[in-house]
Structure 1
Amino acid sequence: MGQLTREGFERNAVAYRCVRMIAEAAASVGFRASGAEQELAQLIAQPNSDQAGPDLLETFYGHITVTGDAYLEAVSIDGEVRELFVLRPDRMKALKGPRGWPVAWEHRVGSEVRRIVREADGFSPVMHLRLFHPANDYDGHSPLDAAARAVDIHNAGGAWTKSLIDNAARPSGALVYSGAEALTEEQRAELKSDLDVNFRGAPNAGRPMLLEGGLDWRPMSLSPADMDFVEQRNAAAREIALAFGVPPMLLGIPGDATYANYREANSAFWRLTVLPLVNKAARGISGWLGERVAGGVVADLEGVPAFQEERAEQWARIDVASFLTVEEKRRMAGVGG
């Protein structure tokens, strides 16, 4: 996973932007209490002394988007959960019990190893949220794994472009000597050195080559037009965005005609990618801490601009429903009663 993260996230602009968009958008959606108890919602809003709720959730969502796994640790004092922290997935290892299910976790930082076990009442201090993986019972499936080949193509295209620029923005070729006598080793070395100094690199781009003595330059590589190079990179970029669930239109990638306009693409992004992830986190946290910390949480969509129009339509339908009481309308609108 380390190499995949470096190549797919740290060195690929498309995947990096997809992860940032998903993590930041999901973290902007707050949690509200699903019932009368507010303790869990308040804990998530201020999980520890160093982070606010959105900061912790952005890290949490970022990990699950990149690696397919995300971990939260609950720190308790006298049986009461006081703080929440995100643990890096690459430092976690599931310790399996006799039936094959995780019974504890091993958290490794350098040479230091910490074993996290269930408490006496069965409560696990660690919550593991993962994306579906059909062939692994312990780890989630990373979107980067699904887009690995597209990432390789996109990165190779960038490396090829840089190499082309470094070589005076021309494809490689062969310098053919057709003289009567063969070149000596000294002449070969001198000719190669002259080419490196005077004709290689961006500063020498476009410099004409003066050939004499039976020398002839013959290009050998295919041109970018022959390779349809730009479209190949755009196709790879669209495939990467598809794996993450981000409409290519939102990333400025040409060639995508799935949505009629930016608003439709943005709405699809929130509805099909961001909202399911937020709901998954809300269910996981509520099920994990619901009994230890009073209350449960659900996604609070009131402040999400992408859903404002739909919320207004919902309120309008509720308002004209004459068979509902005022209290019932307030509950259906999500404002209590």
Structure 2
Amino acid sequence: MSSLLSRLMGRGGRVAAPVSAPHAKASRTGPLIAFPSIGRPVWTPRDYAALAREGYQRNAVVYRAVRMVAEAAASVPLLVYRDGREEPDHPLARLLARPNPRDASAALFDALYGHLLVAGNAYLELASVRGEPRELYALRPDRMKVVPGPDGWAQAYDYTVGARTVRFAQDHRDGGDGPPPILHLTLFNPLDDHYGFAPTEAAAVALDIHNAAGAWNKALLDNAARPSGALVYAGAAGMNLSDEQFDRIKEELEASFQGAANAGRPLLLEGGLDWKPLSMSPKDMDFIQAKAAAAREIALAFGVPPMLLGLPGDNTYSNYAEANRSFWRQTVIPLVTRTAASLAHWLAPAFDGALRLEPDLDGVDALAPEREALWARIGAAGFLTDDEKREAVGYGAKPASARPGAGKGGWGGVDPLPGDVVASPAGGDGLGGGGGGSWQNQPRVPAGNPEGGQWTDGSGEGQTNRR
């Protein structure tokens, strides 16, 4: 048995070369983020329930802005592309069309975008069977907590309902090298490493002003739609109301003269009491203008043009259609594109290849004028081939089976259309029967040349036929 010294020194008493540790690709700053709370959940820095209650549930501007963005984004279908070609029957396309037995695609993405706008965070759960993705579920952000790992990023997520908690380990692979079970979407937060920043937080001051103005107006209606006044006791010198008299008058005022139902009711005074109305008015407080300005700031935080929310005093857009196009181009499309890229990056490992998800914008009515203008410009570009035009508008090249020269008779079973320029090499009859060799297109026929110029091989022989 060799001694410990000999095993350390190696043969001949030489010091063995140190074994280098395997290199790992990771950020050197990650452990600094995870050091204070490694293995323990990191709580959100603000109350999501308060944001949802004061913003979405109690403020009409926030509610409508969230609904407009979420519904518009959820209405855009996502197309699956592999190797540059659309695959409508791909398993991922079927999963997105029916993500779970309860929700359709629009309902799932509506909840996903709604959580993202209200909380700045959104979570999707992937349910897999033997590594095959089967269902997708949107989870509530207020119940989810990030559990950082040694590298500083999330190694797990804790989902808590009441006293019960479920942990989703991000390094877990169900039956193989599939994707992690949770996708965490965030909006950029400059002061937090794990959680996103919600638009409702950016509009918190405007939200409080808007809600306070509404509360002021409600209180004003409860007090006969006018500012209150003061009861002045003008009794004999040195005489004051007793505590019992003061409490009795106060109770009578609250019971008989306060509230909208008692508006205009005459006030009966006695014993030296005099009513002095206050001069303060809603116009003096200027709360109407303050409320309108706060509403526009809320709409700005969500990226919704105030005109679309019916807010007065904003003439930035020339008309409603232009505001709608701006809403789609600057708010909805960037949100959908970013979400599609995150989904593709998350789910691609489950489908054995690089996939790409792209929003299908052809069905967006608001973008129809832009689409028509693009097609008109591309169609008028005579220096582009058909395939180049198709690529420019996002449809890709024609299938190989539909190309001239791809099959029997040089046309792949597809006869040339009237007006197509067809060239046959020397020795061919030029009639498309396949007896004269393979057929080829003659690219970019020179204008004004009835013979069509040179053949593809440059021989200049043969004939040009227009069928």
Per the TM alignment, residue 157 of structure 1 is displaced from its structure 2 partner at its CA by: 0.9
**Aligned with 1:84: secondary structure?**
strand
Q: Which has the higher helix share?
A: 1
Q: Distance in 1 between matches of 2:247 and 2:262?
A: 20
User: For the Cα contact (< 8 Å) 1:68–1:131, is it kept in 2?
Assistant: yes
Q: Is residue 180 of structure 2 the alignment partner of residue 124 of structure 1?
A: yes
- Specify which of 306, 309, 320 is matched with residue 262 of structure 1: 320
Q: Select 1:111's aligned residue among 163, 169, 178.
A: 163
Rounded to whole Å, the distance in 1 between the matches of 2:394 and 2:314 is 37
- Tell me the equivalent position of 1:23: 70
Structure 1 residue identity aligned to 2:142: D
Match of 2:208 in 1: 152
- CA–CA distance in structure 1, aligned partners of residues 224 and 129 of structure 2: 65
Are residues 1:177 and 2:233 paired? yes
Please say if 1:46 is aligned against 2:98.
Answer: yes
Match of 1:322 in 2: 382
Higher relative CO (Cα under 8 Å, sequence separation at least 6) belongs to: 1
Structure 2: which 5+ runs fail to align? 1-47, 399-467
Displacement after TM superposition at 1:92 (Å): 1.0
* Equivalent residues of 2:51, 2:119 under 8 A apart: no
Q: Which 4+ stretches in 1 moved above 6 angstroms?
A: none
Distance 1:17 1:173 in 2: 37
Q: Output the TM-score relative to the length of structure 2.
A: 0.70
RMSD: 1.6
Decide whether the 8 Å contact of 1:40 with 1:296 is kept in 2: no
**Match status 1:201 vs 2:267:** no
Sequence identity (%): 55
1:58-113 deviation per Cα after TM superposition (whole angstroms, max 9, x unaligned): 11010101111111111110111111111111111111111211111111122111
What are structure 1's unaligned runs of at least 5 residues?
none
SS in 1 for 2:350: coil
Q: Please give the alpha-carbon distance, in whole angstroms, between the structure 1 residues aligned to 2:77 and 2:317.
A: 28
May I ask how many residue pairs the two structures share in their alignment? 337
Q: Which moved more, 1:225-234 or 1:110-119?
A: 110-119
Shift of residue 323, structure 1, vs aligned partner: 2.3
Equivalent AA in structure 1 for residue 264 of structure 2 = G
Give the counterpart of 1:10 among 50, 57, 81. 57
User: Which residue is 2:130 aligned to?
Assistant: 78
SS in 1 for 2:363: coil
> Once the two structures are superposed, what CA deviation does each residue of 1:269-312 show, in whole Å capped at 9, x if it has no partner?
11111111001111100111122136321010011011111111
Q: Of 343, 346, 356, which aligns to 1:296?
A: 356
> How far apart are the structure 2 equivalents of 1:323 and 1:306?
30
Which structure 2 residues correspond to residues 199-238 of structure 1 after superposition, within 5 A? 199-220=257-278, 222-238=280-296
Give the residue type in structure 2 aligned to 1:23. Answer: A
Corresponding residue of 2:394:
334
Q: Which has the larger radius of gyration?
A: 2
Q: 2: CA distance between counterparts of 1:148 and 1:60?
A: 22
Q: Say which is worse superposed, 253-262 or 182-191, in terms of deviation.
A: 182-191
Normalised to the residue count of structure 1, the TM-score between the two structures is 0.95
**Maintained 8 Å contact 2:178/2:350:** no
Give the superposition deviation at 1:122.
6.9
Amino acid aligned to 2:273 = L
Conserved in 2, the CA contact under 8 Å of 1:172 and 1:221? no
